[in-house]
Chains A and B, each alone.
Chain A
């Protein structure tokens, strides 16, 4: 089964090339895909009839319970046969139908093949979510097929309407499927149907599934998309109506009725929607002039009948429904293909402009006649057998619901006879001009003969389909034998029978009456049409759809206008108010009431170490002063003080690594801020914000109080031992290091670190592109290539600033000291890097120290000094760093370990002695390179490039 689906996939992907190579003859090859599905189904005919159920299972996403579970029971077998058989014939038909130079054939062929594949997958899928995946695939592909003529407005709108309606239902269905999966715990369709849930969940799931089926199968009130979908090319219409897409909804009903058929809500909805659709479709088909639209409304009507029969929940009706499904596939495909042939050779489908074609297109007319006979239920055709069985089964129906169903089918069949006869008459009969109901369009040319020879391929498929409808009806017992296993899965009702002659029964009388009255309605069509005009000519559903889409647009615009105010403070304030109201209230309740209502539970100690009090006082004062400062530099420095205070708090808390990193990062931050502040005005602009200022103060205080409450309550909410309890032991045994924080970063939670350093890389790239604008970042500024420096012969100078900086701005002392301590700083960074596994330090700290060393060089000697100190492109450092870090993980994978698992090697090197090497060191090296790259990028961008831009503008900073 999987192979059949793969064949569809391969051919669908290859279709554009095939069409390019062979033109429309490529359809001969593409037809192999659905043909393989039909052949596969045929090969299992005997097995499935004997009760075998071939299955196949391929794991896909185990965590989501998603597997490619395929299963071929009787229902799937039958539908696969229909989907594949009709699909193959439609593809063959395509090879002659489209002109040789038709537009977009490559895409069309691929989408059609993929559509056939999605449909085949849908009917054999045994996994609830897989079913949904295929379901939505058919939606998407049908959208592309309906909108094939993308240059025409009507096609675009019809396609859009179809996808909106069917996707809405599909989402409802997904809800239903998920409810089923969660309720039963089994995500396999067969298991869910065998052992369905009960109670409210079952009712909700059933309604959701029916919503999906109703939209897909164009049941009232969602029927309007199907006639509009006539904008699709005719072969697509044939496939869509006969075997695919709309049959998906019928399949869904057929699949779940054995499970939910006894729910009252299921029965009521099925009878109401099915019966209503049956009658409305037939009623409207009588008034159409386009042959395709006659058939389209006919399909709407037949879909209602199918859903009614398969969903009503008795065995007899189910057997009849399945038989009718097959019969409908045969005659409806045949009729659409005939319509396509007529359209192709005469140029019109308007039955008012066609006359006498039965004489000039006899074979086509005969095929259409056979198919129509099956559609209206004339013996001895498949449609007759199925409808007899249906009336027989429904005549035993109990209660008002059964009565309604029976009479709906009777009236619906009557309408079917009337519009079926009208279709054949409209397409082929000789009609006198000027007669009401005859050829009415004045001044328009009437087609009485094809304008070219009808290609054999346009006739053979419909003839085969129409004859098929006759052939299977001659031996109804075979059909009964093959389909009965499905009907037997229904829990209630007498088993039905498929027979041509059941003797003189009341049902036979009803059938005769239906045929007679239907013929009468056709004969008196002019009168019927007048009645219809006087009574009700509905076109409301389409209008309602359009109006509701317009309302939806308006609503979306209003919501957007309400939420997207375009003001950053507004957004932030909204977030903060939500923080205060939501979690804030919860915290307040927890603080004041306690879980058991026993009064406030605030459990704090004044301090861990007394020194914290002094540091917190400094931090608080610095923060408040920073908020009050009007001068940018002052604010920045005060925030820096608060940051250093934080570092002290970390140290007091027992976190030397944090303290080290915070100090280094704070230093770099201050330098960077000062670098940028050079270009910004010295004072914050004074804005008349007095009114809102108190609001901001209030919001700030509220947010602070909420965070304080959180900080007090969250620790006491802990119920389990933290994971970090085992970290020290794991760090030493598996990570091979004594510094637990560092081992956590490079080993235990290394994936997190990979993610975080990726953020650094993105930020560095963003900074560079914001300032350099046109390229990732500028050239590496080397003294030897400088073009804004006069004397550049001396390649090796110790102090680059001597030639590049204005003498008034130099401080030789600073430069010399910088050069002197630079290497010491680098060595210190390396020390931090290598000792970081066992002592405070590590890649982040080492990278920041290198960054500070470079910063000092830049501050002392300007941008060329920076170029000489670090003659590499920061992008190179960033990329190498990330590659090393993530690459170590992959190396572990290659070595057969978990991703990013470290392994420990103890080497003995002469002179140095025993070396304890842990592979996560390379990870740390990567982190260091990345941090160096980040700082270098910042310096080159916010430092060097800003200098250059300022000089270009003629200002000296």
Chain B
């Protein structure tokens, strides 16, 4: 019998609130280590939220172990949390590797602003094209006028001589 009553317990709600608040505060930092710690805390908070969504506490979801009359806690929420815990471990290690790499390259583990994004923003403000594109250059001819100057690869003899610009053949 799985627990069906799902009134949340206030202490767990408070724990969710504290973990998420502190976690978000740390997430907004620029030091990758603190971002990671924030992530871990938020993850813990979210895991508790999942636990709350599964309903009230019960006995362990192992058949035959429950005391008489006590329903078991929701196993589905637990399965989800379990994988979440392990993935959080893998992710922490990954972010740490990034922090280390960042430290190796720049001497600190802080996330700097993306230079390329700033460059694009500057160009956009000036309404300049973000990249040079030969095809985008304006010409006085309309496209159908240009098309009139395109000739096909046909048998030699009537050699076309009025080829379009760039008319390599």
Contacts and interface: CB of A to CB of B under 8 A. Distances in A.
Interface in A693-711: 696-697, 699-701, 703-705, 707-708, 710-711
B98 A627 contact: no
A347 interface: yes
Top-5 shortest CB links A-B: A566-B117, A704-B21, A566-B114, A102-B153, A228-B143
10 contacts: A103-B153, A350-B148, A554-B124, A568-B111, A635-B37, A697-B25, A715-B52, A738-B63, A738-B64, A934-B89
A553 to B, nearest CB: 7
Interface string A623-657: 11011000010011001001100100110111111
Contacts of B72: 654, 728, 740
B89 A665 contact: yes
Interface in A679-721: 679-681, 684-685, 687, 689, 696-697, 699-701, 703-705, 707-708, 710-712, 714-716, 718, 721
Contacts of B30: 568-569, 687, 689
A708 to B, nearest CB: 4
| Most interface-central of B46, B62, B149, B166 (chain A CB within 10 A) | B62
Interface string B126-169: 01011000111010001110111111111111111110111111
Contacts of A914: none
Given A154-B150, A655-B78, A756-B86, A763 B91 contact: yes
A561 B121 contact: yes
Contacts of A616: 11-12, 14-15, 18
A603 B52 CA distance: 13
Contact of B124 (A343, A557, A753): A557
Contacts of A101: 153
Given A154-B149, A639-B40, A569 B28 contact: yes
Nearest to A764: B90
A9 interface: no
Contacts of A605: 7-10, 56
Interface in B7-59: 7-31, 33-35, 37, 40-41, 44-49, 51-59
B120 A564 contact: yes
Contact of A668 (B55, B74, B89, B134): B89
Contact of B157 (A345, A348, A711, A938): A345
B93 A767 contact: yes
Interface stretch (A145-153, A251-259, A425-433): A145-153
Given A231-B143, A646-B48, 18 more contacts: A151-B166, A153-B164, A229-B147, A554-B127, A560-B120, A561-B121, A606-B11, A608-B9, A626-B22, A632-B33, A643-B40, A680-B99, A699-B24, A703-B24, A731-B75, A739-B62, A760-B87, A934-B90
A566 B116 contact: yes
A724 B108 contact: no
Given A347-B159, A620-B18, A624-B18, A230 B144 contact: yes
B113 interface: yes
A98 interface: yes
A770 interface: yes
B102 to A, nearest CB: 10
B20 to A, nearest CB: 4
Interface residues of A, number: 166
Interface of B: 1-2, 4, 6-31, 33-35, 37, 40-41, 44-49, 51-65, 72-79, 81-83, 85-94, 96-101, 103, 108-111, 113-118, 120-121, 123-125, 127, 129-130, 134-136, 138, 142-144, 146-162, 164-169
A224 interface: yes
Contacts of B37: 626, 635-636, 639
Contacts of B143: 154, 157-158, 161, 224, 227-228, 231, 542
A3 interface: no
A1 B8 CA distance: 62
Contact of B148 (A230, A652, A727): A230
B83 A752 contact: yes
Interface stretch (A78-86, A275-283, A287-295): A287-295
Contacts of B1: 728
A661 interface: yes
A228 B2 contact: no
Given A102-B153, A566-B117, A756-B87, A685 B108 contact: yes
Nearest to A715: B6
A782 interface: no
Contacts of A738: 62-65
Contact of A718 (B6, B60, B168): B6
Nearest to B35: A568
Contacts of B92: 669, 672-673
A366 interface: no
B90 A708 contact: no
Interface stretch (A209-217, A374-382, A741-749, A867-875): A741-749
Contacts of B55: 715, 722
Given A100-B155, A576-B24, A934-B90, A708 B79 contact: no
Interface in A285-325: 289-290, 292-293, 296
B10 A604 contact: yes
A929 to B, nearest CB: 14
A654 B150 contact: no
Contacts of B13: 604, 708, 711-712
Interface in A330-375: 340, 343-350
Given A569-B28, A653-B73, A672-B93, A539 B12 contact: no
A941 B97 contact: yes
Interface string A446-460: 000011100100000
A97 B86 contact: no
A96 B39 CA distance: 68
A554 B128 CA distance: 8
B61 A740 contact: yes
A911 interface: no
A907 interface: no
A176 B23 CA distance: 47
Contacts of B41: 623, 626, 639, 642
A308 B114 CA distance: 55
A619 B18 contact: yes
B30 to A, nearest CB: 7
B153 to A, nearest CB: 3
A767 B149 contact: no
Nearest to A153: B166
Interface-central residue, B20, B23, B56, B123, by most chain A CB under 10 Å: B20
